[in-house]
Structure 1
Amino acid sequence: MQTSVASSTAPGSRIEEAAFDVAKFASQQAESAERDRRLSAEAVEAVLDAGFARHFVPRRWAGDEGTFASLLQAVSVVGQGCTSMAWAASLTASLSRMAAYLPQQGRATLWADGPDTLIVGALMPLGRARRTDDGWQVSGTWPYVSVVDHADWALVCAVTTETVPRARFFALPRGSFRTDDTWTSMGMRGTGSNSLTAQEVWVADHLSFDRDTLVAGPAEGAEAACHRVPLKAVNGLCFAAPALGAARGALAVWSETTAPRFVSSSGGLSPSAATVLARSSGEIDAAALLLERVARAADQEEVSALTTTRSGRDCALAAELAVSAVDRLFAAAGTRAHQDGAPLQRHWRDVHTAAGHVVLAFDPAAEAYASQLFAGEG
C-alpha cells in the first residue's frame, strides 16, 4: 500500500509550498524533540524559514497577510511528521496575527527587523497590570507557553488593577521575562510549553491593547480578512490543525506497518482491518472537511455570531474525530505500536494532548452553538 506525506499539485501560499520539506525535517527530529522536551534551534529556524511567523503579518511590515485555509493545509502536513513542530508552526502564525492588533507604533516595534519575529503567547488573563503615567507595570506567571525558550517577544494577558478591571494584552521582549522548565506532558513533548514569569515589567502603551478588541474582530486599520475576524471564529483552528496532522500521520504509519500483516490471499485487507482503515480514514476526512469550512468562513469574512459558534463546535468535533480515528488505529496495531520510539504511539499521545486543549472542549462549544442557534430562532 502506497502511503506518504500528503502532497498537492495545486498552487498555494508560501507555507503550503514549504510544508512538505518542513514535514520531512519534522519527522527526522521528532525523537530528539521528545527527548529534549523542546524543539531544536534548527527546527524553529525551519518553521520561520517556511514563512509561518510572517503568514499573518500585515503587508506594511513585509508580511504575507495569508489565509486560514493555507495555514490549515500547511500545519496539517507538518503534523504528519511531528505534531509538536506543527503546533509550533500554527501558534507562531496565530500569535503574529494577534500582534497585528497592537497600535501602529507597537507593530513597527515588533517587526522592526522583519516579519519573521517569533512571538509566543499566553491567552489566559493570569497576570496583573498596574497603570503608570506612561504605560503599565506587568507581573504574573503564565504556564504552557509553547516554544517560549526561542521567543523574541511574548504576548501575555493580564487584568488591570483599575477601578473597572480590564483584560489587556502586553508585548514583552525577550530579556524582560524568565522561563521555568515545567513542561513534562505525556504528549507533544517537543513543544517546550514551559512557564513564563514577569516581575514588574514596564510596558509602553503602544505595546498593549484591550482583549475585547481581539475578541470583537477588526484590528485598527485592518484591510485583510485575517485581521478582521473575531478570535472565537478561528482560535480553535490553530489547535485542531496539528491534531488533524497527527491523525493523518498515524494513518500513514498504520498503513505502512500494520496493514500488511492483514493482507488476505486475494490481495485485499481482512474484513476487520478493512473496517479499521475505512472508519479511521473516514473520520479523518470528516475532520478535515469541518476544519476547511471553518477556514473558508474566516477567509470570506462570513463571521456572524452563529457562524462563530458553529466554527467553535466544528473545531472541537474535528478534534474528537481525530482522537477516535487514532484510538482505533492504535488499538488495532497490537503491542508493537506500544514500544518506545514507535511512531504510532507518539501520534496517539500527541493527538490526545492536542485535543485536550481547553479551546477544543466540546461541551462548552456545544452549549455556545445551541444558545446562539436558539437565540436566532427566538
Structure 2
Amino acid sequence: MSVATLSTLSTRDLSAAAGELAALSAEHAAAADATGRLSPDVVTALRASGFARHFVSARFGGAEGTVADFVRGVLRVSASCAATGWCVALLAASSRYAAHLPEQGHEKLWGSGADALIATGLVPAGTAEPAENGYRLSGRWQYISGVDFADWVLLCANVSEEDAGPRFFALPRGTFGVVQSWDCVGMRATGSHTVVVDDVFVPAHLSFARAEMETGVNSWSPLPAHNIPFQAIGATTFAAPAVGAAQGALAASLRVLKGKRLTEAVQIELVRATARIDSARHLVEQNAAVIDDRTFTPTFLARNQRNASFAGEQAAEAVTALVRVAGTAGLSGSGELQRVWRDVTTATSHVALRYDITRAAANYSTALIEQAI
C-alpha cells in the first residue's frame, strides 16, 4: 500500500484510518523490529491517520473523539504491528494530556494544525527552577516512546520551590537532545529513548500542574475528553496495544498451525488462549465505556485500574501459550509469532500495568469491601 493513499481522516473514519495504517505497518513490522525504528512511510502514515488529533479540540481541527473509538483503533493497529500501535496510543494520549496547558499553549501546539506529534515523560525527573514568566528546565527522562519523530515533548519535573508539586513542561523539537538508549528485546521500534534538557527556558503557558492531569480537572477546556481522571484512563492506554498485539499473535499462530494435526492438549490450550484474548479485549472496551459515560465513581475508577492490569496479564499469558502450541515453528527467528511474543512481554512489563505500583488491587478490593452490605 502506498502511503500516498492515506490522508488525514476525521474521527468518524478513524476505524478506516486504523485499518489502512495497520496494513502499511504490517508490511514494515519485521524491518522495524530489526532496525529499531519505524519506517519513514509508517511515520508519515501515522501522522496522517488522525490518532494525534483524536482528542484535540475541534476549533484547532481536532476530532474531539471518544475513548471507545480510540481503543478500537489502537487494537486494530497493534494487531498488525505492536510498536506502531504503542506509538499511536501514546501520541493520542499525549495530545489529551497537553490539553491541560493554558489557552496560549493550545495555540502554540495546535494553532497551525491538529496533527502535532507529542511524546510524553509521565514520571517526574529533572528539576524546574522558577524564572520570570516561566521556568528553567534541566534533566533526563527515560523511555520516551516516539521521541525520534515527535514535534514536541511533554516532560514531568519537580519544581525547586518549597511545597510546589511536579509540573509538566512542553518543549518543541530543537530545544532538547535525544540519547539513543532504548535497547529492549521487545517493542524495539517504539524508539523509547532518553530525552536530555539542559537549562531550557519554558514559558508559563507551556506548563501545567501534574495534579490537574491526575484529577482530570481541566482549567482551560470543558471538553469531556480533556477532563478524565488519570486513574480512569492511564493504564488502559498501555493495556490496549498489548491486547491488540495478542490478537495479532493469535492470527500468526493459526497460520503456523494450519494444515497440522493437532492433539487434544494443543486444541485445549489454543482455545484457552482465545478466551484470554477475548476477555482482555472486553476489559479494555469496558474501561472505554466507563470513561465515555463518565461514571467516575471510586468503584469504577478502581475497576478500570484492575481491568487494565488483568487485561495485560491475560494478553501475556495468551501469547506465551500460543508460542507453546506453535512449537519450534513459532520460534523461528524470522517468524512473526516470536516477535509479537517479545513485544507483548515487553509491553506488559510496564509499571502502569503493575498491580502493586498502581495500587490496582488495593484500590479495587477496598472499594468492594466498602460497598458490601
Same fold (TM over 0.5): yes
Q: Distance in 2 between matches of 1:166 and 1:176?
A: 24
Please identify, of 336-345 and 360-369, the stretch whose mean Cα deviation from structure 2 is larger.
Answer: 360-369
The offset of 1:259, in angstroms, is 4.0
SS state at 2:56 partner: coil
Q: Secondary structure at the match of 1:326?
A: helix
| CA positional deviation for 1:38 | 1.5
Question: In the alignment, does 2:221 pair up with 1:222?
Answer: yes
Q: Determine the structure 1 residue equivalent to 2:345.
A: 352
Give distance in 1, aligned partners of 2:259 and 2:71. 31
The answer as to whether partners of 1:72 and 1:241 remain within 8 angstroms in 2 is yes
**Normalised by the size of structure 2, how large is the TM-score?**
0.94
Any residues of structure 2 matched to 1:79-94 within 5 Å, and which?
Answer: 79-94=78-93
User: Following superposition of structure 1 onto structure 2, how do residues 43-192 of structure 1 map, counting pairs within 5 Å?
Assistant: 43-192=42-191
Partner of 1:329: 322
Q: Aligned with 2:123: secondary structure?
A: strand
Say if 2:83 and 2:189, in contact at 8 Å, map to a contact too: yes
- Whether contact under 8 Å (1:37, 1:190) holds in the other structure is yes
Map of 2:5 onto structure 1 = none
Q: Cα offset for 1:276?
A: 2.2
Q: Is 1:367 aligned with 2:366?
A: no
The 8 Å contact of residues 38 and 147 in structure 1, kept in 2 or not, is answered as no
Any conservation in 2 of the 1:146–1:192 contact (CA below 8 Å)? yes
Output the CA distance in 1 between the equivalents of 2:23 and 2:139.
38
Question: Following TM superposition, by how much is the alpha carbon of 1:127 offset from its aligned partner in structure 2, in angstroms?
Answer: 1.6
- Check the 8 A contact 2:37/2:188 in 1, yes or no: yes
Distance in 1 (CA, whole Å) between partners of 2:256 and 2:185 is 23
Q: Is the 8 A contact 2:11 2:50 kept in 1?
A: no
AA partner of residue 208 (structure 1):
S
How much has 1:12 moved relative to structure 2? 7.3
Q: In 1, Cα distance between the equivalents of 2:161 and 2:79?
A: 46
What's the % identity of the aligned pairs?
A: 38
Which residue does 1:33 correspond to in 2?
32
Structure 1 position 223, deviation (Å): 3.2
Q: CA RMSD in A?
A: 1.5
In 2, Cα distance between the equivalents of 1:313 and 1:204? 38
What's 2:18 paired with? 19
Count of equivalent residues: 362
Alignment partner, residue 209 of structure 2: 210
**Residues in 1 aligned to 2:174 and 2:283: alpha-carbon distance in whole angstroms:** 41
Indicate the SS of the match to 2:141.
strand
Deviation digits for residues 212-245 of structure 1 (CA, Å, limit 9, x no counterpart): 0111113224333211110111011111111011
Superposition deviation, residue 44 in structure 1: 1.4
Matched position secondary structure for 1:334: helix
Aligned: 1:294 with 2:303: no
Q: Is the Cα contact below 8 Å between 2:82 and 2:244 reproduced in 1?
A: yes
- The worse-fitting range, judged by mean Cα deviation, of 303-312 and 179-188 is 303-312
Gaps of 5+ in 2: 1-9
2-structure distance, mates of 1:250, 1:48: 25
Instruction: Tell me by how many angstroms 1:25 deviates.
Output: 0.9
SS in 2 for 1:115: coil
Supply the distance in 2 between the matched residues of 1:126 and 1:368 (Cα, whole angstroms).
26
Contact 1:225 1:300 in 2 (8 A): no
Distance (Å, rounded) in 2 between the aligned partners of 1:338 and 1:256 = 13
Instruction: Give the CA deviation at 1:338.
Output: 1.4
Structure 1 Cα separation of the partners of residues 203 and 192 of structure 2: 27
- Structure 1 runs of 4+ aligned residues shifted over 4 Å read 375-378
Deviation at 1:372, TM superposition (A): 3.4
- Could you report, residue by residue, the CA deviation over 1:164-187 in whole angstroms, capped at 9, with x for unpaired residues? 131000001101100001011010
TM-score (norm 1): 0.93
**Secondary structure of the residue that 1:148 maps to in structure 2?**
coil
C-alpha deviations, 1:12-34, integer Å up to 9, x for none? 73321211111111111111111
| Aligned pairs (5 A) from 1:275-294 | 275-294=268-287
Residue matched to 1:6: none
Contact 2:91-2:118 within 8 A present in 1 as well: yes
What displacement does 1:260 show?
2.5
Q: Distance in 1 between matches of 2:91 and 2:192?
A: 13
The alpha carbon displacement at 1:375 in A equals 4.4
Q: Tell whether the 8 Å contact from 1:157 to 1:169 is kept in structure 2 after alignment.
A: yes
- On the 8 A contact 2:100/2:220 being kept in 1, the answer is no
Gaps (5+ residues) in structure 1?
1-10, 263-268
